[in-house]
Amino acid sequence: MYDENNIFAKILRSEIPCNKIYEDNYTLIFHDIKPSAPVHLLAIPKGKFKSFNDFILNAPQEHITSYFKSIQNITNNQKIVDSGYRLITNHGNHGMQTVEHFHVHILGGKLLGPIISGDKFHT
Ligand code: 5GP
């Protein structure tokens, strides 16, 4: 179930502020409050989507397309296409998702390092 009181739902309802850089009918993109890189943005779809799975399974195709195109546009505007960037989305417990409204992290502006820190996985 989607929790109406998650922090990004409150941002979408303008109950708490965010440092917005882009908005249209489908998408809101704003700065992460605790940036991990010189560019660290969060792209969230409007609507009640808990995670990547929920969004892809339940959002209309035009919403999905518009949302991901907006992310691409922002990488262009932020001038991180040539230097490189990383998109991350965390889903659920093992993904360590902390805010249960689907979001993609847009990271760039420096060499980001290995994708996962810590010990290597051994079988
Ligand atoms: P997750 O761990 O769910 O993938 O990412 C949640 C992200 O939301 C974190 O990077 C965290 O810093 C960010 N965040 C949490 N609360 C707020 C907030 O109130 N405002 C903004 N702009 N970012 C937030």
Tens of pLDDT along 73-97? 999 999 999 999 999 999 999 999 9
How many CB atoms are located within 10 Å of the residue 94 CB?
Answer: 7
Instruction: Reply yes or no on whether 103 is catalytic.
Output: yes
Residue 123 has pLDDT above 80, yes or no: no
User: What CATH number did the domain enclosing 76 receive?
Assistant: 3.30.428.10
Cβ partners under 8 Å of residue 82, min gap 6: none
Whether residue 97 has its Cβ less than 6 Å from ligand 1: yes
Q: Is residue 32 part of a domain?
A: yes
* Average predicted confidence (pLDDT) for the chain: 96
Tell me what pLDDT residue 101 has.
98
Q: Is residue 35 part of a domain?
A: yes
**Alpha carbon of 99 to ligand 1 centroid (Å):** 7
Express as a percent the part of the chain with pLDDT over 90.
91
Among residues 40, 91, 103, 105, the one annotated as catalytic is 103
**Distance between CA atoms of 52 and 23, rounded to whole angstroms?**
19
Sheet with 85-88: list strands edge to edge: 20-23, 27-31, 39-45, 104-108, 85-88
Domain count, the chain: 1
Tell me what pLDDT residue 91 has.
96
Q: Is residue 84 part of a domain?
A: yes
Tell me what pLDDT residue 39 has.
98
**Alpha carbon of 33 to ligand 1 centroid (Å):** 6
Q: Is residue 51 part of a domain?
A: yes
Tell me what pLDDT residue 68 has.
98
Residue 115 has pLDDT above 90, yes or no: no
